[in-house]
Structure 1
Amino acid sequence: MKINENTLLEGNNVVLVPYDAKHVPRYHEWMKSPELQQLTASEPLTLEQEYDMQRSWREDDDKCTFIILAKQQWADGSVEEEQCMVGDVNIFLTDPTDPTLAELEIMIAEPGHRGKGIGREVTHMMMSYGVTKLGVQKFEAKIGLNNEVSVAMFKKLHFQEASVCEVFKEVTLAMTVDESVRTRLLEATADMKERDYRRTCSDRREHV
């Protein structure tokens, strides 16, 4: 999505950056994992296909993608950005007739960064961005029935079970953004900073 191609979102423990071509090799290595393929219902792609996918995620009007970076590593300007990658987060506008409906998907690919509250923080940040920048009014999350950790996290964030598909073995959780949800999101992300991505990258290199 063009709207976030130069947007950096900085939270307390993570930094969200646009999915760039330089991130593709690391992402491609992640997606060779059978575990991640199963959790994300993804098929393995060739590296060339992964670059094509990255371009589509950057350019398509119905996809908004950020790469998740570990802020502590990223703060060290001598560490390459690709080495700070821990996962990705996406918003998909799945219904052409309703641009206010969005599917939310998050992946913490690096095992060492799971179970530390990163998923919760990133979800709050992405939902806040979706509400304030994209006009999202309802979120859905489709999660494999065996992914108990993700199901539990979204339910803690007040998502409600909308449906269960036994064929695809997934549950759909949903949340409508009313005024109380909007207020809660803005409070949860009060410290989030939005920056110019390219300028921040340039400043980061200069400080090495």
Structure 2
Amino acid sequence: MKINSNTKIIGSKIILVPYREYHVPKYHNWMQSEELQQLTASQPLSLEEEYDMQKSWREDEDKCTFIILDKSIYETKNDEITSMIGDTNIFMTDKDNSIGEIEIMIAEKSALGKRFGWESVIIMMLYGIKFVNIKTFEAKISYSNVVSINMFKKLGFVEKSRSDMFEEITFHKIVTEDWVEWLDQQIRWEIENC
């Protein structure tokens, strides 16, 4: 999405930056992992296809994506590639009803269990509510991704449907003022131009 093309979002533990061409090689390397492919319901792409995908995420008005940086590494090394730990995105599935699918991936094993995903997904949802006008979120999660299932339940999402063919559960959450207030209480964040 062009709306976030110059947006940097800073949280307590993470920094979200737009997905740029120079991020693609490391991202592509992550996506060679069969485990990540299974957890994210993704198919392996060639490096050229990954560059095309990055371009579509940048240009398409239905997609908004950020690369997640470990803030402490970034502040030490001042290098986005070294600091990359995952990504988060929103895909507009129904513009008329302002429904967006939220996704989160922590790809670096050293970053797991440190609540980077929790902070990233909350910031991404608040960004989606404020700047993309999301009224309902959906999350499609693999049956085997217990960590994500539990996280989205803690975030107030409820099961909407199951697909045995794709082995995934679709969760959803309608945006309410009380929920947005609760999300705001969970984290601190600020937006900068980059």
TM-score above 0.5, yes or no: yes
1:131-170 counterparts in 2 under 5 A? 131-170=129-168
1:1-208 counterparts in 2 under 5 A? 1-76=1-76, 78-98=77-97, 100-189=98-187, 191-197=188-194
* 3-state SS of 2:16 partner: strand
Amino acid at match of 1:192: W
CA deviation after TM superposition for structure 1 residue 96, in Å: 4.2
CA–CA distance in structure 2, aligned partners of residues 168 and 45 of structure 1:
19
Where structure 2 has 5 or more consecutive residues not aligned to the other structure, the ranges are none
Q: How many residues align?
A: 194
Amino acid at match of 2:173: M
Runs of at least 4 residues of structure 1 off by over 6 A? none
Query: Whose radius of gyration is greater, 1 or 2?
Result: 1
Sort the Cα spacing of 1:9 and 1:141 in 2 relative to 1 into closer, same or farther, 3 A. same
CA–CA distance in structure 1, aligned partners of residues 159 and 101 of structure 2:
14
Deviations 1:66-88 (A, max 9, x none): 00000001112x44211100000
Where structure 1 has 5 or more consecutive residues not aligned to the other structure, the ranges are 198-208
Identical residues among aligned pairs (%): 49
CA deviation after TM superposition for structure 1 residue 186, in Å: 2.4
CA deviation after TM superposition for structure 1 residue 185, in Å: 2.0
Deviations 1:87-120 (A, max 9, x none): 000100012433x100000000001111111111
CA–CA distance in structure 1, aligned partners of residues 149 and 111 of structure 2:
18
* 3-state SS of 1:93 partner: strand
TM-score (norm 1): 0.91
CA–CA distance in structure 2, aligned partners of residues 72 and 143 of structure 1:
29
